Amino acid sequence: MADADSPWLVVGLGNPGAEYAGNRHNVGFMVADLLAERLGGRFKSHKARAQVVEGRLGAPGLSSRRVVVAKPLSFMNLSGGPTTALRDFFKVPVAHVVAVHDELDIDFGALRLKLGGGDNGHNGLKSITKSLGADYHRVRFGIGRPPGRMPVADFVLRDFSSAERRELDYFVDRAADAVESLIVDGLERAQSTYNT
């Protein structure tokens, strides 16, 4: 069971390596990078095959929460191993695990926060669910559907378009706000503010 003092683990999903950095599939890494900046920390390598930064989110005092922000160094479809190892190492209840990921079935930039559910064909979620079960939080960042007959794999492994990049920083910032709200204010309040 999770209590207020239990730490939170925020896992930004993506693929490691410079060639993937701007891909739609790596928006979870982008949000994790911004959260690390807000925590005032730098990512460090962890034995769980991930980069991590630790800190506190929320107003100083009783409402602040201990948070570990992570970027798995495995590829997307193997995210479950590092996530589970970090959960075990930091003693994080599954209900305090948050996966931040790209979502095809939501318009670009729209957000949906939820607890539990299916993986909707997302290989990163599939891997985490196989390792942890389904009862973790998800912050779903809309990337929209591929145009025409473009295969999904090609679409998610392409960089955001120039039109999307003009708004991307704003939407990544909003997603980081949503993660903070989820952790500090709770799921219902965060959903009512950020679900679009």
Alpha carbons 60 and 13: distance in angstroms, whole number: 28
Q: How confident is the model at residue 120 (pLDDT cuts 50, 70, 90)?
A: confident
Coil, strand or helix: which one is 102? strand
pLDDT digits (tens, 9 = 90+) for 58-109: 877 767 899 999 999 999 999 999 999 999 999 999 999 999 999 999 999 9
Lowest mean pLDDT: which of 38-42, 117-121, 135-139, 152-156? 117-121
CA distance 114 to 170: 21
> With contact defined as beta carbons under 8 Å apart, do 68 and 90 qualify?
yes
In the prediction, which pLDDT does 57 show?
87
Residues known to be catalytic: 25
What does the pLDDT read at residue 2?
Answer: 57
Q: How confident is the model at residue 4 (pLDDT cuts 50, 70, 90)?
A: low
| H or E, element range at 87 | helix 80-90
β-pairing verdict for 65-72 and 8-12: parallel
Integer CA distances (angstroms), 153 to 23, 50, 130, in order: 11, 24, 21
Q: What is the 3-state secondary structure (H, E, C) of 113-149?
A: EEECCCCCCCHHHHHHHHHHCCCCEEEEEECCCCCCC
CA distance 58 to 71: 21
What is the pLDDT at residue 32? 98
Half-sphere exposure of 90 (CA within 13 A, CB side): 28
Q: How confident is residue 3, by pLDDT bands cut at 50, 70 and 90?
A: low
pLDDT exceeds cutoff 60 at 117: yes
Give the tens place of pLDDT for each residue, 144-196: 999 899 999 999 999 999 999 999 999 999 999 999 999 999 999 999 999 97
Are 72 and 50 within 8 A, CB to CB?
A: yes
Q: What is the pTM of this model?
A: 0.95
Core vs surface per residue 165-177: b (16+ CB within 10 A) or e? eeebeebbebbbb
How many CB atoms lie under 10 A from the CB of residue 31? Answer: 28
